[in-house]
Amino acid sequence: MNPLRCLLVDDERLARVELSALLHEAGGCTVVGEAANATAAAKLIKALKPDILFLDINMPQTNGFELLGQLDNPPPAVFVTAYDEFAVQAFAVQAFDYLLKPVRPQRLATTLDRLRANLITSAPARIFLPRSNGRRFVGLSDIILVRALHHYVRIYHPAGSDLLRQSFTDFISRLPQGAFFQANRSAYVRISSIGSLKRLSRGRYLLTLRSGEQETISEKQGVEWRRRLG
C-alpha cells in the first residue's frame, strides 16, 4: 500500500516538528505539507488532497472545528490537542480519531493502522455533504444522479438529495468509470438505477429512474447511448 499522505495543521511550529518526527518513526507515512493556520491549511488541502489531516483545535482566528466546517469534502481528520474536553464535539463532526498531546507513539500507530484498514475497506469512497442541520456522508456507490446547478452540483441518493459547492466537471471525475452515463450537458445518471427508457423524437430518450427522477438524453448523447447499450 502506498504511504499515507499526511497534512499537519498546528499554529505551534514545535508541535508540527514533533508530530512529523513521530510519523517518520511510525513508517508508512509522508508529510506532504504543514500549515500554521486554517487559511493556509484550506489551500493546501485543496492543492495536495492528503489522505489524512492531523489538526489542532485551538488556533488563532479559525479553530479546527471551523476549518472542517468550511471544507466541502475534507479528508479524514485526526484532532491532536492538549485538551480532552473537545472529544465529544470532535466525534460529532465525524473526526476519525482524537489524540492528546504529548502524542504517544503506540497510540499514533494504532490510529494509523485503523486508517489504513479503513482506506482499504471503505471503497468506494464517501463524500462529505455539509447541510444546514448537520452533516452527511454519502458513498459514491449510493449516488444515482448528479445534476449541474451553476457553481454547485445536486447529488441524488437514497436518502434524498444535497447540494455541494463544486464544479460539475470536478465532481463527475470522481465517479466510478463505467457505472454512469452522461445523459446531457448537465446530468450524469447511474445506469443501474434506470427504471424505464422511452424513445423521443430526433434520437432523444427519456430516462425514468426507479426513484422517480427523470432526465432526457440529448440527441448528441443518444448516439453514444445506442453505441454503449445497444
Of residues 189 and 177, more confidence is placed in 189
Q: What does the buried/exposed string (b/e) look like for 64-102 if buried means 16 or more CB atoms within 10 Å of the residue's CB?
A: bbebbeebebbbbbbbbbeeeebeeebeebebbbbbeee
Can you give the pTM of this predicted structure? 0.55
Give residue 78's pLDDT band: very low, low, confident or very high (50, 70, 90).
Answer: very high
Cβ neighbours for 127, distance < 8 A, ≥ 6 positions apart:
73, 137, 138, 139, 140, 155, 164, 174
Q: What's residue 230's pLDDT?
A: 40
> 149 exposed, middle or buried (CB, 10 Å; 0-12, 13-18, 19+)?
exposed
Q: 59 and 80 in contact (C-beta within 8 Å)? A: no
Label residue 11 by pLDDT band (50, 70, 90): very high
Average pLDDT over residues 158-174: 87
Query: Mean pLDDT lowest for which of 120-124, 150-154, 186-190?
Result: 120-124
**Interhelix angle 105-121/13-26, nearest 10 degrees:** 70
Tell me the per-residue pLDDT of 105-142, one tens digit each, with 9 for 90 and over.
Answer: 999 998 998 888 777 555 446 677 766 665 667 888 88
The C-alpha cell at 91 is 466525534
- pLDDT value at 182 more than 50: yes
Q: With 60 as the cut, is the pLDDT of residue 7 above it?
A: yes
Q: Which residues make Cβ contacts (< 8 Å) with residue 72, sequence separation at least 6?
A: 128, 130, 164, 165, 166
Region of poorest pLDDT, from 73-87, 116-130, 148-162, 196-210: 116-130
Give the model's pLDDT for residue 120. 59
Sorted by where each starts, the structural domains of the chain and their CATH numbers stand as 4-122 (3.40.50.2300), 129-229 (2.40.50.1020)
In tens, the pLDDT along 18-27 reads: 999 999 999 9
pLDDT higher than 90, residue 40? yes
